[in-house]
Chains A and B, each alone.
Chain A
């Protein structure tokens, strides 16, 4: 595997379910990110981790819970979601936080909440 991978690619869940999204980067990067991409809205940064430490929580509801066990893996745990949480969830990584650094994105998980 190369680059940034995300599983599953598609997920349908009910509002009472608990599920997790997984992201893995094979680039040796130190920073990882979760974004939410909804139709007709700019990409929303949700969480940022640097060297496994969370450095940003962009006012995300507590029904989204991130976990970063090491610099290569990032999870997003989901519980009691709402239909408006349906979106494409993108994971990204970068070498570090220096200005001008490129972020590398995974293909995303298309989440549908019924």
Chain B
């Protein structure tokens, strides 16, 4: 079945550091890929998405590229801020129209001033 594996956390960085959170997936067909973010005390919010191979999703300085050859969707940001401290979830949905989102376990990011 479909699955998502993302790097174990927690990740602690200093402000303005470069961020990478790795995500790889296993899926049949051609899934859509997502990064969701959960700030403390809140629900998940969509950060970015990509629906086909080689697409790049971007938002708030974050980027991720859908790499079919390596089945990856790594999240990157060039310069993190304290306000980026949150839990980040990689997820996929079956492009065939399934309502199921399959999530990774989440990676907690803490950015220190």
Residues of chain A at the chain B interface (Cβ within 8 Å):
4, 6, 31, 33, 40-43, 45, 48, 50, 55-56, 90, 92, 94, 97-108
Q: Evaluate contact between B43 and A99: CB separation under 8 angstroms.
A: no
Q: Which residues of A contact B100 (CB under 8 A)?
A: 45, 48, 56
Q: Evaluate contact between B95 and A42: CB separation under 8 angstroms.
A: no
Considering only CB atoms and an 8 Å cut-off, how many residues of chain B contact the other chain? 28
Q: Which residues of B contact A97 (CB under 8 A)?
A: 97-99
Q: Evaluate contact between A55 and B99: CB separation under 8 angstroms.
A: yes
* Known A-B contacts A90-B43, A107-B42; A99 and B103 likewise in contact (beta carbons under 8 Å): no
* Known A-B contacts A100-B32, A100-B51; A107 and B43 likewise in contact (beta carbons under 8 Å): yes
Contacts between chains A and B (CB distance < 8 A), count: 65
Q: Which residues of B contact A4 (CB under 8 A)?
A: 43
Query: Could you jot down 24 A-B contacts, CB within 8 Å?
Result: A4-B43, A33-B99, A42-B102, A43-B101, A43-B103, A56-B100, A92-B44, A99-B51, A99-B93, A99-B94, A99-B95, A99-B97, A100-B32, A100-B49, A100-B93, A102-B34, A103-B46, A105-B43, A105-B44, A105-B45, A107-B41, A107-B42, A107-B43, A108-B43
B45: nearest chain-A partner, CB-CB: A105
Q: Which residues of A contact B93 (CB under 8 A)?
A: 99-101
Residues of chain B at the chain A interface (Cβ within 8 Å):
4, 31-32, 34, 36, 41-46, 49, 51, 89, 93-106
A6: nearest chain-B partner, CB-CB: B43
B3: nearest chain-A partner, CB-CB: A42
User: Among B31, B45, B89, B94, which residue has its beta carbon within 8 angstroms of that of A43?
Assistant: B89
A50: nearest chain-B partner, CB-CB: B99
Tell me, in angstroms, the Cα distance from A112 to B98 when the chains sit together: 32
Q: Which residues of A contact B98 (CB under 8 A)?
A: 97, 99
Tell me, in angstroms, the Cα distance from A97 to B99 when the chains sit together: 5
Q: Which of A6, A31, A101 has the most CB of B within 10 A?
A: A101
> A42-B104, A99-B93 are known contacts; what are 17 more A-B pairs with Cβ within 8 Å?
A41-B105, A42-B4, A42-B102, A42-B103, A43-B44, A43-B89, A43-B101, A43-B103, A94-B99, A97-B97, A99-B31, A99-B51, A100-B51, A100-B93, A101-B93, A102-B46, A105-B36
